[in-house]
Amino acid sequence: MTSACPSQEPVPPPDFAALGPLAVRAFPDTGGRFHCEPMAGGGSLRRYFRLRAGARSAVAMFVPNGAPSEEIESGGVCGRWPFLQVRDLLERHGVDVPAVYGEATEQGWVLLEDLGDDTLAVFLAAHPERREEFYVRAVTDIARAQAVLCDVPEGNVVASRSFDEEMLLWEIHHFREWALEARGVALSAADRAIFDRAAGCLARRVVGGPRVFVHRDYQSRNLMVRPTGALCWIDFQDALFGPRIYDIVSLLNDSYQVFQPAFVEARLDDYARAAGLDRAGRAAIRREFDWGTLQRKLKDAGRFVYIDRVKGNPSFLKFVEPTIAKVRASLARLGEDPDMRALSEMLGRTLVV
């Protein structure tokens, strides 16, 4: 499988004048006077600005051309933005999400509640003693969301998207294309056959688990800590149905965090309790977690290189080698599978650290 590098269309500049009516509706007592300050973004084309109007503030999200995900969308974005559809769905089911103050989607803008700068990653860097408290909350929140979001209205974008074997294979081959080939590691025909065989086995294993609502990037940079201690979800526009373990892997094998094995096991216990799983179910979660970790970390390592080479953002490159280390650790745990053992040996020969 080869996914060609998406063409990078010119990105239109933000039209800040279109924010004026949104600011007036959100903060009518300020007379429409406001100014914007750029905020740090992530690996997408979306841009964020803190809009200040007197003593009030909001976050203005600019999405050029609707910015469909090249990983999810096969066609153009139609109707209401996926971000807004998913946000409304989550809010209706009791998930904490940012309030929407206004929309000017034709001009690329949505005005959102200002949640501050404390992502879970930032908060825990200042308060490491509270890590267990917040990760218990995070795994409990995702277990609850999976339970209440088992039925999604047919017209919602989430119902139209599925994490199937083809998409999982796309993610796994993202590693080959970007973490290997783009960095000068050319696979021989024999090694390519090993990779393809392992990719197919891995995708089938991951897709075979129970299917639930999947945030798609449920990790410490996409959870905001409210003053109350509640966790507010962000960056959920790519949500879809897929393997139940996917978001748990994203959270507990976060490329931006380091956890001891005992911590991960304890949080898997917490998730199993919150999801109402029996002993057999808890054992199944452990196995799904190993397979899911390997698949997700392969994808992540490739994605970090892609973001540098294609989007011109090198800030994620420092996470490539730690993420590949997690790939090696996952392969070691799955060593009884001949395809995974062959993949481990092949990467040991071709990726010399």
353 residues of the chain, pLDDT tens digit each: 444 444 455 667 888 888 889 988 999 887 778 889 999 766 567 899 999 988 889 999 998 875 455 444 544 445 789 999 999 999 999 999 999 999 999 999 999 999 999 999 999 999 999 999 999 999 999 999 999 999 899 899 999 999 899 999 999 999 999 999 999 999 999 999 999 999 999 999 999 888 999 999 999 999 999 999 999 999 999 999 999 999 999 999 998 899 999 999 999 999 999 999 999 999 999 999 999 999 999 999 999 999 999 989 999 999 999 999 999 999 999 999 999 999 999 999 998 65
Q: Tokens representing 251? A: 């959270």
Distance of CA 19 to the CA centre of its chain: 28
d(CA 48, CA 115): 12
pLDDT of residue 351: 86
d(CA 275, CA 140): 8
How far CA 280 is from CA of 270, 283, 284, in Å, comes to 15, 5, 6
Q: Tokens representing 269? A: 């216990």
pLDDT of residue 31: 74
Which amino acid belongs to residue 300? D
Contact 114, 57 (CB under 8 A): yes
The torsion angles phi and psi of 320, rounded to 5 degrees, stand at -65, -55
Give the Cβ contact number of residue 191 at 10 Å. Answer: 20
SS3 label, residue 232:
strand
Beta bridge partners of 117: none
* Buried-state track 334-346, b at ≥16 Cβ within 10 A, e below 16: beebebbebbbeb
User: pTM for the whole thing?
Assistant: 0.88
- Domains in the chain, CATH or no CATH each: 16-113 (3.30.200.20), 120-350 (3.90.1200.10)
Contact 58, 113 (CB under 8 A): yes
